Structure 1
């Protein structure tokens, strides 16, 4: 088979394990005698003339980068090229520029590393420009369909679990209720997994409605049992008791989740008379060195993606199912958005342990 020139692109929010994917793809491709090119700053790099890229070689992309958080290529989660915000406030379709940038690089295929939002855009671009694309799922939210795990999730859960480990002794020292707000967007996977692993008394996720009365009842039961502290984990997309979203508006006008922990902390203090403290993990869950599992998963995904390019199977996303890497249609993965199943094993585990889900 003739030598190929393939591109690698990280898109959307960063997470731990992206550099492990890049490393795996570079080494697997060069094993086949192919050239690899890294596109800088996601699709934004393709707007430039010439496109912003760097050549990736096995000598440069060694085991050291696998230990690093973030992405050495840079990424972006702003500026949909089909409706790109311009300086005058208008929206412009700049998708043609992305396609032109891809063609200017002379690439045979591209590996797109992203979440469901990135895949929706990249798939549309691929169809428009006749671009051969294979996708690798990454998101700390673990909400992409058709795969049991996405790169970045394991590390985010490990960080949240460690935070609970650190909050427990200070909570016990001061007779406090500690509230930990974690990321996850509209899915409660991080809160649920970390809450169980970190010994939380209450776990609040957006998929299960809650009442402060129920939460207060659990905390009072903990205190009545003789324990002087309690741990509460809340996912960032949990709403207020009247159904409102708690978001922060940034200087560019974008609104993002954040602040529900403070709301829950105040509500618990009022309902129970307990002293509460709130910790918001935020981007600490994204930027840290990847866990061993995210390094393994990212590397295995990368090898499979390169194999799919060799086989000419495009429009596919690699996925983890039943302890092996498979491939599925990107459209199917996007369509099967994966929130927490309220009848899942982990939800049942919470209830069996007496962990309150607020309902």
Structure 2
């Protein structure tokens, strides 16, 4: 539970487990319910944008509808879990599932919001990847780049927050599709990681003297596709360097989530108009059913073939979730942040 609201970056985030125990006690007597034990828990993200923070500051629509995280609510999160007790024949004991039950070691479900892992999932692959590269972050990268940006061979693609769970997959899918890829990250360690996984050009946006000149150096002719995880002044600078008919996938605005001052203005309407740029915000939950399953299978295949490399930021222990969450908000992790319970 979240016993009190918070803003900014908290050194500690106090939590209570009272709701979990009460919830289990009440629901176990219901028919067709499932008790699941967690292996890994991740912090729920609207694509690359921390949704817990969004829920604190805004009242946004997400997966289960319009909701505001308030004091006493269970913190949001997605989990890989195994069913340990079941009265529902569709979900037998031992089934590996994805659940959306928040920060909890156990939870009860009627099966409506559970999802089985791909049957093709090999024993050699970490289950935690179902929360990252072959999960919602991977799907966000896949649909944002291929459906929203429509990236194709020969395009020049720019992605910021490129060493994160979404950005790293965006860059690698772009390379698979024959694109030139430029990535921005916030440390030299992350820049080295981007080069290791195949980015054509990577830079530390915190240390460059001029973002505008660095972007021009990386792609003198401009950018066809921009996958935006950051927003703010960074994006305003990028828009001025988009090619004619450029496409922008707006995945997040992490630079502004903890801002206490006046937010920067949006991109120049003149740049968008005269370059005929298309900008579109999206959530990966738009794509469902067979389309979503096809994307997951393709991501899994690329991982198994070595075309997509992955890096996880794994924290041990349920009690360390608040600290891990704050580290993620500060951008201290490379790859997907998950907690092993």
Q: Tell which structure's C-alpha radius of gyration is larger.
A: 1
Q: Please indicate, yes or no, whether the TM-score normalized by the shorter chain is above 0.5.
A: no
Q: By percentage of residues, which structure has more strand?
A: 2
Relative to the length of structure 2, the TM-score reads 0.34
Q: By percentage of residues, which structure has more helix?
A: 1
Relative to the length of structure 1, the TM-score reads 0.33
